[in-house]
Amino acid sequence: MSDETVNTRMNMIQAINSAMDVMMERDPDVIVMGEDVGFFGGVFRATAGLQKKYGKTRVFDTPITECGIIGVAVGMGAYGLRPVPEIQFADYIYPALDQLVSEAARLRYRSGGEFTAPLTVRSPFGGGIFGGQTHSQSPEGIFTHVSGVKTVIPSTPYDAKGLLIAAIEDNDPVIFFEPKRIYNGPFDGRYDKPARNWSAHPAGEVPEGYYRIPLGKANIVREGEALTVLCYGTMVHVVEATIEGLGIDAEIVDLRTLVPLDIETIEASVKKTGRCLIVHEATRTSGFGAELSALVQERCFYHLEAPIERVTGFDTPYPHSLEWAYFPGPVRITEALKKILKD
C-alpha cells in the first residue's frame, strides 16, 4: 500500500478516485456501482481505472434506474458489503428517494439495529457549468431533512478524499455530494475570467494513501473578526475570493458535513464575530440555510449585532441562460456583506 506521507497533486476527481481506490484495496467488501462507472470510468472519470484494477464483480455498470441502484445497494449492505453507488447527477437522485428515505435511512431504526445500510451515495451536484435545470441542482436540503442519513459536501481535493474515506467507513448511509463546478479547480465566482486548476491551491496536495477527515467537523478556512460566513462546497471559494477582494476580515467556516453539523465551531465563531452570513447555491425556502439561521439565532441571539443574512439560489428551477444571475456570486455576496456590516 502506498505511503500516506507521500503527497501528490490531485484535482477533486482524482482525489475521489483515490479514496475509492484506497478503500477498495483495504476492504474487499467495498464495491462501486452506477451508470457508466465500469469500463468507461464514469462520465466525470471519478471511477476511472477501478474496474480494471478490482474486476467486474466489484466495479460495474448498472441499468438506468436510480431506484434500482439504491435498492440493490441496500440489499448488498444487508448482505455485508459496503456499497459506494454513484448517482450520475444529483438531479437524477429523485427516483431513488424512497429507497434512500424510507429504506436506507430507516433500516437501522426499524430493525432495532439488526440490519444497517452502510452505503455511501456519491453524486455530483451544483451548478455553474451551464447544465440547465437537470444537471445543476443542489438537493442537499432534502436529505438534511431526513432522519437517519448523513450529508457530506467537500470543498477541496484534500477534503474530498479524507471525507469520502470516512464516509465509506461509516456504518450509516451517507449522501456525498460532490460540487462538480470545482472538480477541476477552485472557482471564485467570476465566470468571465479564465478557469483555474487545483495545481496552485494548497488543498490540491493530497496524500496518496489512507487518511480520514472525521464527519461532523467543520473547517475554519479563514479566521477573522468582522463576521462569520457559513458555507460549503463551491461557495467556500466564491466567498473566500469575494471577501479577499473587499478586504473584509471575515471568518469563513466550511461546514463540510451538514448532518451531523459541527455546531460548536459555528456557535463559537458567531459568538466571537457577532454577525453571520449564510451562503448556499440551493434554493432558499426550507433550504439548509434556514436551519442554520434558526440554529444561530437560538444559540447566539444575544451576541448578534445584525440580522442574519442568507445568499442562496432563488426559488426557481435552475435557469440555463441566466445561470450567472441565479448563481450566488460575488455581486450578491457583496451586497449581503454590506448589509450585515453597515452598522
Partner 1 sequence: MAQNEGRRNLRSLELHVPEPKFRPGDSVDYSDLVIPPAGSAPRPDIDARPDSFHELAYSLVRVLDEKGNAVGPWAPRLAPDLLREMLRNMALTRAFDERMFRAQRQGKTSFYMKCTGEEAVAVAAAYALDRDDMCFPAYRQQGLLISRGWSLVDMMNQIYSNKGDRLKGKQLPIMYSVKDAGFFSISGNLTTQYPQAVGWAMASAAKGDTRIAATWCGEGSTAEGDFHSACTFASVYRAPVILNVVNNQWAISSFSGFAGAESTTFAARAVGYGIAGLRVDGNDILAVYAATEWAAERARTNQGPTLIEHFTYRAEGHSTSDDPSQYRSADESSEWPLGDPIARLKQHLVALGEWDEERHAAMDLELAETVKAAAKESEKNGILGHGLNNHPFESMFEDVFEEMPWHLREQCAQMLEEQKAAGL
Q: Which of 35, 86, 135, 309 is catalytic?
A: 135
How many residues does this entry show for the chain? Answer: 343
CA distance 47 to 72: 19
Using DSSP, state whether 149 is helix, strand or coil: coil
CA distance 25 to 1: 8
Q: Indicate whether 81 belongs to the interface with partner 1 (CB under 8 A).
A: yes
Closest approach, Cβ 57 to partner 1, in A, equals: 4
Closest approach, Cβ 34 to partner 1, in A, equals: 13
For residues 23 and 55, is the Cβ–Cβ distance under 8 A? no
Q: Indicate whether 86 belongs to the interface with partner 1 (CB under 8 A).
A: no
Q: In the chain, where does DSSP find H-type helix?
A: 12-26, 50-54, 66-79, 97-98, 107-110, 140-144, 157-169, 234-246, 263-273, 288-300, 323-326, 330-341
Q: Binding residue for partner 1 (CB under 8 A) from 3, 27, 98, 315?
A: 98
Q: Binding residue for partner 1 (CB under 8 A) from 79, 192, 247, 342?
A: 79
267 noted as active-site residue: no
Residue with cell 434512500: 100
Binding mask 262-291 for partner 1 (x = CB under 8 A): -x----------------------------
Closest approach, Cβ 318 to partner 1, in A, equals: 25
Q: Binding residue for partner 1 (CB under 8 A) from 40, 53, 111, 195?
A: 111
135 noted as active-site residue: yes
Pairing relation of β-strands 227-231 and 250-254?
parallel
CA distance 252 to 239: 8
Decide whether 132 or 216 has the Cβ nearer to partner 1: 216
**Residues annotated catalytic, as ranges:** 66, 135
The residues that touch partner 1, with contacts defined as CB under 8 A, are 31, 57-58, 62-63, 65, 67-68, 70-81, 83, 95, 98-99, 102-103, 107-116, 147-148, 150, 170-172, 216, 259-261, 263
